[in-house]
C-alpha cells in the first residue's frame, strides 16, 4: 500500500509493501489515490514520493505478472499522472529504485538519492522490458548510449554514477527524506515544463543510426537466444525515431510480445528459484531455523592449482583473512604468482581495488608449506588433486592440527564426502564445498552434506557462499553430487553420438544454439580431457587396472565409449595441449577449429568396431543429450539428494552455463511436457537398451502417470525421502 500524509505544504506519499515495496495493484491504487488527493488539496503545494523502510521500490510485483493486463494497464498511466501534476513531485530514493520503481521516479519532476542507493531497469533479466514508459523517458534524460546500456543489461548503478549520468539531481549522505522535502519546498512555483521528460527531445548522438546498428550487433551476440535484450533495444530505438506517445505504443507492443514468449516466465521462475534455495532444508528437517552459522574470521586453502587459486581470490575479495598452503616450495611459488596475478586483475576492476583487497598484507593473505599455520583457522577448503587416498591423508592431518571447532571443507567434484570424513575425528564438521571453474567468477557453490555433517556446518557453508557473493545450493552426497552427476549422462550421450556418426562441432552447435554458453566438446577441451581420464582410471574403467579381455565398448554389461580415453592416450588433453576434440592455435589457445585428423580418426574407429555411420539430426542430438540429463535429475529428486527441482535448475544456470531464459533443465522439462520427455526417452532407450542413462526414471514415469502435474507439485508425489543427515 502507499501511505499519504500531509505535512506543511508538501504531501508525502510513502510506498509500503515489505520487504522491497514491490508495486502491487494495491500499492498502485493508493499511489494514484494519494496523487489525486494532493492535487485536489489547495493547501498542498508539492508532493514527495518515498518508500517505507529505507527502500524506494524494487519495481512491479513480479508475482503479479500472472495477471499482466491489470498490472500493465495500471503503472504506465500512473507514471504519466505523476508527470502531468501541476504541483512539483520529488522522488526521494533510498535503498533501491528498480524497474517500475525507477519508472515512477522518472515520472517525478525531481529525483534526489541517498549516496548508498542503487538504481536500474532490470526488467531484461526477468525477460521483460521497462513497460511503464521507461524506455522512452530514460534516453531523454541520460542520452541513448547510457540508457541503452542500462536497459539492455539491467545493471544496477550506484547513486554516484546516477548523478554523473544526470539520472538524479542530487545525492545526499544524510536524511534523504528531509532533503527531498527541502527541495520540494524550494521548487514550489517553478515552471514544470522543462522537468517533464516526455516533453524533452532525445539528445542527439553523432551518426545515431550507425551507433545503433553497432549496438544491436553487440546486444544480439550477448543475448544467446534470449529475446528480451533485443526487444529492449528496439524500444529504445523507437524513442530515437518517434514522438513520445508513439514510442510508448511501441514499448507496449514489444512488452506484450515478451510477456507471451514463455522466456519471461522461465526467467521469473529462475529469479524465485534462486531465492527459494537460500531457504535450505534437509530431509531430516535441519534448516536455518535449527542452525546458526559459525563465524569465519580466518580461513585456509590447501592446494593452489586451478581451483585453489580462484578460491583464494574469492576469499580475499570477501575480505576473509587466509592462509594458502601448497605441498612444496616450487608449487607454492607457482601458485602464489598465479594468485597475485588474479588479484591484481580483480583489483583493477574495482574502484580503489588495491587498497580494498589489501592482498600484499601477510595478515590478510599468507602463503606457506607449513601445516602448523592452520592451527587457528576457522575453516579450511581443500583443493588438492582428485584422489581419495590423498584427500583422506590431508583430512587426517587436518583433524589432528586444526582447532576443535574448525570446519573442514573439500572441493572434490565427485568423491564420497563420508569416506573423506571417515579419516577425521570430527565427521560432523566435514562438508563438501564444490566451487566451479573459474572459482572467483562462477556464482555456484554446491554444498554437500554427508551422513554426519551437522546443521551448523551447513549453515556456515551457506553463510560463506553469501559472503563470497555466490549462490549456495545444499545437496546430499552421491557420486558427482547433483551437477556432475547430471552432466555424466549428457556428456556420455554426446560421445555416443560421435560413435554413431556425428562430429564434435555438430553436437556443440546444436547445444550452443539451444543457448548453452559452450557445447560439451568445447567444454571438455577447456576443462582438460585428462581430468576425466584420471577419474576413469581410478574407477578401473580404463588403464592398467582394466581386466584383460574386457570388451572395448562395454563396462559392467553397459555401453561404454573408449573415445575420450583414446584421445588422452594420444596426448590430446584439450586446450592445454593444443588438441583435443578440436585443434587450437597453440597450447593454451582458445580458438577451436574442427580437426580433420579427428574426423578421420572417428571414421577409422567406426570401421574398427563395425559401426554403420548414420546422419544424426539436430532433434536427436538435443533430445538425447538433454533428456538423459533431465532423466538423471528425476532420479536425484527421487533419492532425496536435492529438496526440489529448483535446486537442480539453480545449479545448472549458475554452474553449467544452462541458458537462463529456459529456466533450468527441470523447468525446461516441464515446458516440453513430461509425457513427451518420457516418450522420447522410451524410444531412445529401446534403440539403446545397454545405456542406463536413457532408461526413464521411475519418478518421471510416476509423474506422467499421475497426469503431468505442475513443477511446484512434483515433490508431493514422492512417498518418502531418504534422510541424508
Ligand X SMILES: NC(=O)C1=CN([C@@H]2O[C@H](COP(=O)(O)OP(=O)(O)OC[C@H]3O[C@@H](n4cnc5c(N)ncnc54)[C@H](O)[C@@H]3O)[C@@H](O)[C@H]2O)C=CC1
Q: Which of 261, 306, 422, 509 binds ligand X (CB under 6 A)?
A: 306
Q: Please say which residue, 327 or 721, places its beta carbon nearer to ligand X.
A: 327
Q: Please say which residue, 92 or 302, places its beta carbon nearer to ligand LX6MKDVF.
A: 92
Q: Does 78 bind ligand X (CB under 6 A)?
A: no
Catalytic residue among 123, 133, 382, 660: 123
251 noted as active-site residue:
no
Query: For residues 479 and 435, what is the distance between their CA atoms, to the nearest angstrom?
Result: 16
CB-based burial label for 121 (10 Å; 0-12, 13-18, 19+): buried
226 binds, among ligand LX6MKDVF, ligand X, none (CB under 5 to 8 A by kind): none
Min dist CB 154 to ligand X, Å, is 28
Q: DSSP for 431-494? A: EEEEE-SSTTT--EEEEEE-SS--HHHHHHHHHHHHHTT-EEEEE--STTTTHHHHHHHHHHHH
Min dist CB 411 to ligand X, Å, is 4
Min dist CB 493 to ligand X, Å, is 21
Q: Are strands 170-172 and 110-114 parallel, antiparallel or unpaired?
A: parallel
CA 696 to chain centre: 29
Q: Extract the C-alpha cell encoding 500.
A: 554413431
Q: Please say which residue, 272 or 479, places its beta carbon nearer to ligand LX6MKDVF.
A: 272
Residue 360 CB coordination number (10 Å) = 10
In Å, the largest CA–CA distance within the chain is 96
Q: Please say which residue, 61 or 326, places its beta carbon nearer to ligand LX6MKDVF.
A: 61
Q: Which residue has the cell 567444454?
A: 523
Q: Does 29 bind ligand X (CB under 6 A)?
A: no
Q: Which of 176, 198, 413, 577 binds ligand X (CB under 6 A)?
A: 413
Q: Does 530 bind ligand X (CB under 6 A)?
A: no
The DSSP 8-state label assigned to residue 198 in this structure reads: G
Q: Which of 437, 550, 708, 721 binds ligand X (CB under 6 A)?
A: 437
Query: For residues 383 and 301, what is the distance between their CA atoms, to the nearest angstrom?
Result: 7
Min dist CB 241 to ligand LX6MKDVF, Å, is 19
Nearest residue relative to ligand X (C-beta): 305
Min dist CB 365 to ligand X, Å, is 16
Q: Which of 57, 135, 198, 412 binds ligand X (CB under 6 A)?
A: 412
Q: Please say which residue, 269 or 435, places its beta carbon nearer to ligand X.
A: 435
- Judged by CB under 6 A, which stretch of 264-272, 300-308, 347-355, 540-548 contacts ligand X? 300-308
Q: DSSP for 510-547? A: HHHHHT-SS-HHHHHHHH-HHHHHHHHHHTTSSSTTSP
Query: For residues 613 and 617, what is the distance between their CA atoms, to the nearest angstrom?
Result: 13
Catalytic residue among 103, 499, 620, 660: 103
Which phi and psi (to 5°) does residue 475 adopt? -140, 165
103 noted as active-site residue:
yes
Instruction: State the number of CA atoms in the 13 A half-sphere of 5 facing the CB.
Output: 11
Q: Does 326 bind ligand X (CB under 6 A)?
A: yes
**Which of 25, 135, 136, 26 shows the shortest CA–CA distance to 73?**
25
SS3 content of the chain, % helix, strand, coil (to 5): 55, 10, 35
303 binds, among ligand X, ligand LX6MKDVF, none (CB under 5 to 8 A by kind): ligand X
384 binds, among ligand X, ligand LX6MKDVF, none (CB under 5 to 8 A by kind): ligand X
Min dist CB 216 to ligand X, Å, is 35
Q: Does 256 bind ligand X (CB under 6 A)?
A: no
Site for ligand X, residues 469 to 528, rule: CB under 6 A: 527
Q: Extract the C-alpha cell encoding 305.
A: 592449482
Which phi and psi (to 5°) does residue 387 adopt? -145, 120
Query: For residues 101 and 52, what is the distance between their CA atoms, to the nearest angstrom?
Result: 13
Long-range contacts of 460-467 (CB under 8 A, 24+ apart): 460/293, 460/294, 460/296, 460/379, 460/407, 461/407, 461/409, 461/431, 461/433, 462/278, 462/280, 462/293, 463/293, 463/296, 464/293, 464/296, 464/379, 464/433, 467/296, 467/318, 467/320
61 binds, among ligand LX6MKDVF, ligand X, none (CB under 5 to 8 A by kind): ligand LX6MKDVF
Min dist CB 55 to ligand LX6MKDVF, Å, is 7
Instruction: State the number of CA atoms in the 13 A half-sphere of 1 facing the CB.
Output: 2
- The footprint of ligand LX6MKDVF (CB under 6 A) covers 19-20, 22, 58-63, 69, 71-73, 75-76, 96, 98-100, 103, 122-123, 126, 128, 130-132, 134, 252, 255-256, 272, 275
Min dist CB 384 to ligand X, Å, is 4
Q: Please say which residue, 223 or 638, places its beta carbon nearer to ligand LX6MKDVF.
A: 223
Q: Please say which residue, 27 or 409, places its beta carbon nearer to ligand X.
A: 409
Min dist CB 163 to ligand LX6MKDVF, Å, is 20
Q: Please say which residue, 267 or 415, places its beta carbon nearer to ligand LX6MKDVF.
A: 267
Exposure string over 564-586, b if 16+ CB within 10 A, otherwise e: bbebbeeebbbbbbbbbbbbbee
313 binds, among ligand X, ligand LX6MKDVF, none (CB under 5 to 8 A by kind): none
Q: Which residue has the cell 563395425?
A: 610
Query: For residues 133 and 60, what is the distance between their CA atoms, to the nearest angstrom?
Result: 13
Q: Does 725 bind ligand X (CB under 6 A)?
A: no
Q: Does 384 bind ligand X (CB under 6 A)?
A: yes
Site for ligand X, residues 218 to 237, rule: CB under 6 A: none
Q: Which of the residues are catalytic?
A: 103, 123
Q: Which residues bind ligand X (CB under 6 A)?
A: 302-308, 325-327, 331, 335, 383-386, 390, 394, 411-413, 435-437, 527
Amino acid at each position: 500500500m502507499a501511505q499519504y500524509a500531509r505535512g506543511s505544504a508538501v504531501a508525502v506519499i510513502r510506498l509500503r509493501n515489505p520487504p522491497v515495496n514491490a508495486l502491487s495493484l494495491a500499492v498502485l491504487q493508493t499511489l494514484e489515490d494519494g496523487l489525486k488527493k494532493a492535487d485536489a488539496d489547495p493547501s498542498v503545494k508539492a508532493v514527495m514520493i518515498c518508500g517505507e523502510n529505507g527502500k524506494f521500490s524494487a519495481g512491479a510485483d513480479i508475482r503479479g505478472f500472472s495477471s499482466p493486463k491489470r498490472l500493465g494497464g495500471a503503472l504506465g498511466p500512473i507514471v504519466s499522472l505523476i508527470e502531468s501534476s501541476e504541483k512539483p513531485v520529488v522522488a526521494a530514493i533510498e535503498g533501491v529504485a528498480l524497474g517500475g520503481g525507477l519508472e515512477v521516479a522518472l515520472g517525478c519532476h525531481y529525483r534526489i538519492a541517498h549516496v548508498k542507493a542503487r538504481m536500474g531497469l532490470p526488467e531484461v533479466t526477468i525477460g521483460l522490458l521497462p513497460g511503464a514508459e521507461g524506455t522512452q523517458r530514460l534516453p531523454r534524460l541520460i542520452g541513448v548510449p547510457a540508457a541503452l546500456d542500462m536497459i539492455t543489461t539491467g545493471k544496477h548503478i550506484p547513486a554516484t554514477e546516477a548523478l554523473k549520468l544526470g539520472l538524479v539531481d542530487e545525492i545526499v549522505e544524510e536524511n534523504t527524506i528531509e532533503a527531498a522535502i527541502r527541495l520540494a519546498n524550494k521548487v514550489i512555483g517553478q515552471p514544470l515544463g522543462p522537468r517533464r521528460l516526455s516533453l524533452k527531445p532525445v539528445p542527439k548522438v553523432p551518426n545515431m543510426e550507425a551507433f545503433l546498428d553497432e549496438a544491436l550487433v553487440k546486444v544480439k551476440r550477448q543475448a544467446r537466444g534470449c529475446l528480451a535484450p533485443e526487444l529492449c533495444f528496439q524500444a529504445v530505438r523507437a524513442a530515437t525515431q518517434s514522438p513520445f506517445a508513439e514510442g510508448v505504443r511501441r514499448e507496449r507492443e514489444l512488452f506484450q510480445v515478451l510477456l507471451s514468449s514463455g522466456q519471461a516466465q522461465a526467467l521469473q521462475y529462475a529469479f524465485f528459484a534462486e531465492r527459494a534455495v537460500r531457504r535450505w532444508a534437509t530431509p531430516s528437517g535441519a534448516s536455518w531455523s535449527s542452525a546458526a552459522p559459525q563465524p569465519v574470521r580466518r580461513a585456509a586453502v590447501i592446494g593452489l592449482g586451478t581451483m585453489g587459486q580462484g578460491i583464494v581470490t574469492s576469499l580475499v575479495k570477501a575480505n576473509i583473512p587466509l592462509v594458502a598452503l601448497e605441498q612444496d616450495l616450487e608449487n607454492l611459488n607457482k601458485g602464489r604468482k598465479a594468485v597475485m596475478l588474479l588479484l591484481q586483475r580483480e583489483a583493477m576492476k574495482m574502484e580503489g581495488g588495491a587498497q580494498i583487497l589489501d592482498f600484499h598484507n601477510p595478515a590478510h593473505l599468507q602463503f606457506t608449506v607449513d601445516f602448523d599455520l592452520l592451527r587457528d583457522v576457522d575453516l579450511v577448503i581443500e583443493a588438492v588433486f582428485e584422489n581419495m587416498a590423498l584427500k583422506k591423508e590431508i583430512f587426517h592431518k587436518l583433524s589432528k592440527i586444526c582447532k576443535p571447532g574448525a570446519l573442514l571443507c573439500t572441493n572434490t567434484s565427485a568423491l564420497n564426502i563420508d569416506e573423506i570424513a571417515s579419516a577425521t575425528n570430527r565427521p560432523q564438521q566435514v562438508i563438501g564445498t564444490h566451487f566451479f571453474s573459474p572459482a572467483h567468477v562462477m556464482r555456484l557453490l554446491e554444498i554437500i552434506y554427508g551422513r554426519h555433517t551437522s546443521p551448523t556446518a551447513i549453515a556456515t557453508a551457506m553463510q560463506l557462499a553469501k559472503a563470497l557473493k555466490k549462490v549456495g545450493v545444499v545437496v546430499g552426497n552421491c557420486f558427482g553430487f547433483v551437477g556432475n552427476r547430471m552432466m555424466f549422462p549428457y556428456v556420455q550421450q554426446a560421445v555416443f553420438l560421435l560413435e554413431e556418426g556425428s562430429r564434435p562441432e555438430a553436437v556443440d552447435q546444436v547445444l550452443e544454439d539451444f543457448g548453452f554458453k559452450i557445447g560439451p566438446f568445447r567444454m571438455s577441451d577447456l576443462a582438460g580431457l585428462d581430468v576425466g581420464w584420471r577419474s576413469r582410471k581410478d574407477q578401473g574403467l580404463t588403464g592398467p587396472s582394466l581386466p584383460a579381455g574386457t570388451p572395448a565398448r562395454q563396462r559392467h554389461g553397459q555401453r561404454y565409449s573408449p573415445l575420450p580415453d583414446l584421445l588422452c592416450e594420444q596426448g590430446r588433453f584439450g586446450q592445454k595441449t593444443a588438441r583435443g576434440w578440436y585443434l587450437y592455435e597453440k597450447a593454451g589457445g582458445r580458438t577451436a577449429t574442427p580437426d580433420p585428423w579427428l574426423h578421420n580418426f572417428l571414421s577409422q574407429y567406426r570401421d574398427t568396431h563395425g559401426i554403420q555411420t548414420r546422419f544424426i539430426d539436430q532433434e536427436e542430438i538435443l533430445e538425447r543429450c538433454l533428456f538423459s540429463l533431465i532423466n538423471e535429475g528425476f532420479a536425484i529428486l527421487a533419492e532425496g539428494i536435492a529438496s526440489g527441482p529448483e535446486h537442480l535448475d539453480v545449479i545448472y544456470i549458475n554452474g553449467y552455463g544452462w541458458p537462463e531464459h529456459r529456466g533450468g533443465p527441470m523447468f525446461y522439462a516441464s515446458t516440453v511436457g513430461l509425457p513427451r520427455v518420457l516418450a522420447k526417452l522410451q524410444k531412445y532407450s529401446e534403440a539403446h537398451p545397454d545405456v542406463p542413462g536413457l532408461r526413464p526414471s521411475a519418478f518421471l514415469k510416476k509423474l506422467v502417470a499421475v497426469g503431468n502435474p505442475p513443477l511446484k507439485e512434483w515433490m508431493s508425489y514422492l512417498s518418502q525421502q531418504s534422510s541424508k543427515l
